[in-house]
Amino acid sequence: MYWRDSVKLCAQTVTYDKFNRPQKSGYTKRTVNCDVKGVKRTEFYQAQAAGYKPEITVEVKQFDYERERYLEHNGVMYKIIRTYPVKNECLELVCEGFSGDE
């Protein structure tokens, strides 16, 4: 692991209006070091069968991940669809494209 790349882990910020209804108001972002990988062929086809479209896999240190649901890499937002622990206290985050409308 070289940890050459960096991503922004994003948590959605929710505010409430005067009627106490939740309103999505943006994201809080924090930058962490990572390794960006491709999606493995087997995992790609299994995810496609389940209705997901994985695009990238990002490996981060386990202590850096605080259960965020989104990440940003090179200006593109992704939704984290799966986390998987790997050796040396690291996590793989499998991500699909995210339009921001969800």
For the chain, helix (H) and strand (E) counts, in that order, are 1, 6
pLDDT digits (tens, 9 = 90+) for 12-64: 998 999 999 998 888 999 999 999 998 877 777 677 777 778 889 999 999 99
**Domain holding 23: CATH number?**
2.40.10.270
Amino acid making up residue 82: R
Its domain, for residue 69, covers: 5-97
More confident residue, 3 or 43: 3
Predicted local confidence at residue 46, as pLDDT:
74
Predicted local confidence at residue 24, as pLDDT:
84
102: in domain: no
- 85 within 8 A of 62, measured Cβ to Cβ: yes
58: in domain: yes
Examine the pLDDT at 102 and tell me if it is beyond 60.
no
